[in-house]
Amino acid sequence: MRTWLKNNPVRSVLVLFFVAALPVLAMRDFTPDNELRYLSIADEALAGGHFFVLTNHGIPYADKPPLYLWLVMLLRTLLGRHSMLALGMLSFLPACGIILVMDRWIRSGAEGAFSARERAAAAAMLAGTGIFAGMACFLRMDMLMCFFIVLALYAFDRGRPWAFALATFLALFSKGPVGLLVPLLGAALQCVVRRDGKTAARMLGWRFWLVLAAGCACWFGGVLLEGGKEYLRSMLVDQTYGRAVGASDHNGPFWLYFALLWAVLAPYCFVNVPTAAGALRSHGTEGFLARTALLTLLVLSCFGSKLLIYLAPLMPLAVYTVPAVVRRRGWTPLRAWGLRIPAILFILIGLAAIAVPLGLRRIPLLAEFDFLRSPLVACCGIAPLAGGIFALRVAGRGWERATLRLAGATAAFLFFAGLLVPQINPYTGLGDICSQVPAGAQVYTLRVRRTENIDVYLGYGPSRAYGKDYDAFLEDIPAEGVLLVKDTALRERADLSGFLSEKKEIGRSGPFLLYKL
């Protein structure tokens, strides 16, 4: 066993990563905001037999390319239902792929062989980065795009033009323009830095544009045949320009990502950011990674729409500068503090988590969440507490030991938090409350967000979603059916509470109530 672990350090980390994430992947409910929408779109496409023009309850959905949703449809067809564990693999497996490619890439560009501990620590650092671990467990196309971006950049660095072109197109086809811009601009910048016109002509020449043109021609041709010019215009112009320049949702100033970068790379940001900045002028692999990460940050900062998760493509690039730079320049006391700070934060977080069950009665806001009384919450605190203490003791001896201890604590925290998921689901998803709806009953919703996609659970959507419009509901009370309402509404409106007190409560899950009208 020890021999296998020594010979397969990265695979060992990935196995631990999978074990830690398995409870979340297996038991989590779908979130109403995006995940239910993706599943509803996939069901609608399968029912209507249209695969290039996507719709959500008849409304065109041109926000994203179809590749990810095709995979969702494929799993739905093969399994006959939507399985969280199977769908989670569409994020988890690309996350593992990113780590494996980055490990091979950094080793191929190194002057000497990395030790098993260095390789394991680098893999654990990326897997244990909070946003990366979260993305690996949620149903989004970002991780798939990131995998193809990393694969494209690796193919470029290895001088494989066809693989570079194909991976770049697949990154574009996974989520959109960012998948094209990051590999293209990163490769172009590397050619400029190296003053290598021959490589630029070979890697960014006719092969690249032929693959891109052929792929886009098939994609756009399918869209044109199914949806016509209006849908194609919406996809190419409205969505692209709207998100890049005229975004009304998630809008933010140019500098926002420079502040959010520290959160994206937490808890290792105090090591990753300075190390990547110091590698910008290097001509080795770490320089290519650092410059591409910085270029990605600048390009994304020019877009109007800004979300934390949009910075995902630069995470593996920034993280993997660490092993190469430390190998060249050594582990300094200043860098050691870059791991001591998160170790101290882990200790504080652990103490706070252990104290939560003790303070429930004194904090009314927390007392509403029954799952916080579980002994598993204390386990979620013990993991970062122990990991922080052990990492603090060894941070001065090298980055590998401290990183492995912090990553192990993160994995343990994820595992214990995953065991709490069945108790958390009623607060974050609608699956449990929808299972209590009588068969075939008309459903009306009040003070509940994004209920249009509950057709994933019921086979049909709500007859009407009132949102926060209490007056509209009370003025036109449905004669029959059931009302799905959040308990907040009863506290906000006494007249609504009085009306529902005369109705029969037939279901309850977390903050959601179900009444027979």
Q: What's the confidence (pLDDT) of residue 306? A: 81
State whether 298 and 355 are in the same domain.
no
State whether 303 and 154 are in the same domain.
yes
**In this structure, is residue 126 part of a structural domain?**
yes
Q: What's the confidence (pLDDT) of residue 328? A: 84
Sheet of strand 512-516: strand arrangement: 464-465, 443-446, 482-486, 512-516, 504-509
State whether 311 and 342 are in the same domain.
no
Q: What is the pLDDT of residues 425-481, one digit of tens each?
A: 999 899 999 999 999 899 999 999 889 999 999 999 999 999 899 999 998 888 899
**In this structure, is residue 81 part of a structural domain?**
no
Q: How far apart are CA 6 and CA 230, in angstroms?
A: 57
> pTM for the complete prediction?
0.93
Q: What's the confidence (pLDDT) of residue 355? A: 82
Count of structural domains, the chain: 3
The whole domain housing 364 covers 333-428
How would residue 271 be classed by pLDDT, with cut points 50, 70 and 90? very high
Return mean pLDDT, the chain: 89
Region 307-312: what's the mean pLDDT? 87
State whether 348 and 317 are in the same domain.
no
**In this structure, is residue 48 part of a structural domain?**
no
Nearest to 21 by CA among 117, 120, 122, 95: 95
Q: What is the DSSP letter of 502?
A: T
State whether 441 and 423 are in the same domain.
no
State whether 230 and 250 are in the same domain.
yes
Percent of the chain with pLDDT over 70: 94
Give the per-residue SS3 of 213-260: HHHHHHHHHHHHHHHHHHHHHHHHHHHHHHHHCCCCCCECCCCHHHHH
User: Token pair 């910008």 is at which residue?
Assistant: 280
Nearest to 32 by CA among 425, 491, 485, 420: 425
State whether 375 and 468 are in the same domain.
no
Region 31-53: what's the mean pLDDT? 92
- Residue 209 token pair: 């544009």
**In this structure, is residue 65 part of a structural domain?**
no
State whether 228 and 215 are in the same domain.
yes
Region 243-247: what's the mean pLDDT? 53
State whether 415 and 319 are in the same domain.
no
Q: Domain boundary at 305, 329, 353, which?
A: 329
Q: Domain boundary at 313, 329, 345, which?
A: 329
Q: What's the confidence (pLDDT) of residue 100? A: 96
Q: How big is the chain by its Cα radius of gyration, in Å?
A: 25
State whether 115 and 175 are in the same domain.
yes
State whether 406 and 463 are in the same domain.
no
**In this structure, is residue 19 part of a structural domain?**
no
Residue 293 has pLDDT above 70, yes or no: yes
Q: What is the pLDDT of residues 164-177, one digit of tens each?
A: 999 999 999 999 88
State whether 197 and 145 are in the same domain.
yes
